[in-house]
Amino acid sequence: MTTPHNIVFLDRDSLIATLRPPAFAHEWREYPSTSAAAAAGRLAEASIAISNKVPLRAADLAQLPQLKMIAVAATGTDIIDLAACRARGIVVCNIRDYAVASVPEHCMALMLALRRKLLDYRADVEAGMWQRSARFCLLGHPIRDLHGSRLGLLGYGALGKSVAALGRAFGMEVCVHTRSPVTDPDVTALSWDELLATSDVLSLHLPLSEQTRHIIGAAELARMKPTALLINTARGGLVDEAALAAALSDGVIGGAGFDVLAQEPPPPDNVLLKLRLPNFILTPHTAWASGQAMQALADQLIDNVEAFAAGRPRNVVA
């Protein structure tokens, strides 16, 4: 008789979707959330761990001899010590290409809000300025179209390609900088320097690693157009947040739209939380979280668990 897998979902409340039961013998336990300190204790009898954002480091894994799989309920796997998993024979699988509509739509929403000065004009209406206007409209904040501007993409995976498609639909010229060869005839590959210097909107679509951490700092911001927008729906650590705050305050770039911060949830003294500028929009890591995207994630998560249990693991990162 096959021994049932013991499955523990450490942070179930991070996923607002229906999870179908895995189609094999198992025991299931879930927690709304789990602190890093409590993770190992809750996984003591688990053979399969599910985690969205609860970190599992080498010291935790050393306490879990029965653990055989970690199913990450997200694409990014920087919360997991992959080297320690490889050393212990723990399979790590992630979620892929589930938010190829949700994240790109959020990117475009940030671009549109900033280029069309929606925050400025909303504030004017709330202050009664339109109501007191001598004309039928207010024109105090210059508006710029996306059409005809250059969209620069740093990284060109599934999300970058979806943003490119939306950018082209808006009439933008799409340029990319990526390590892989670009074969799309509608996209122009540029050097990193040229992408920085010529993009009207620069959107980041990279994973976070030691090589990409703070890939945008003060020097890079200074090389961008003074009217350029920086969009980050990828990982907060890609950008030096203090440098960005200074660049926005000093008018080095035209604006920024962010959905991520280096530490999440952020501490109250995060420098970007203190900004009160109409050219900066910060959303609380929601770009991925449309109802459709979360359900696609939930379905793929169980697909990954079932594939592992059947001896055919998929979406393996370690």
- Residues 126, 235, 241, 314: which is the catalytic one? 235
235 is catalytic: yes
pLDDT digits (tens, 9 = 90+) for 15-41: 999 999 999 999 999 999 999 999 999
264 is catalytic: yes
pLDDT in the model for residue 130: 96
Write out residues in the chain with pLDDT < 50, as ranges. 1
pLDDT in the model for residue 48: 98
- Residues 27, 264, 276, 312: which is the catalytic one? 264
Q: What is the distance between the alpha carbons of residues 255 and 248, in angstroms, rounded to a whole number?
A: 6
147 is catalytic: no
55 exposed, middle or buried (CB, 10 Å; 0-12, 13-18, 19+)?
A: middle
pLDDT digits (tens, 9 = 90+) for 144-172: 999 999 999 999 999 999 999 999 999 99
pLDDT in the model for residue 316: 97
Name residue, tokens 């950018």.
Answer: 167
- Residues 105, 144, 285, 306: which is the catalytic one? 285
- Structural domains of the chain ordered from first start: 5-98+292-309 (3.40.50.720), 102-282 (3.40.50.720)
Q: What is the distance between the alpha carbons of residues 200 and 180, in angstroms, rounded to a whole number?
A: 23
pLDDT in the model for residue 1: 46
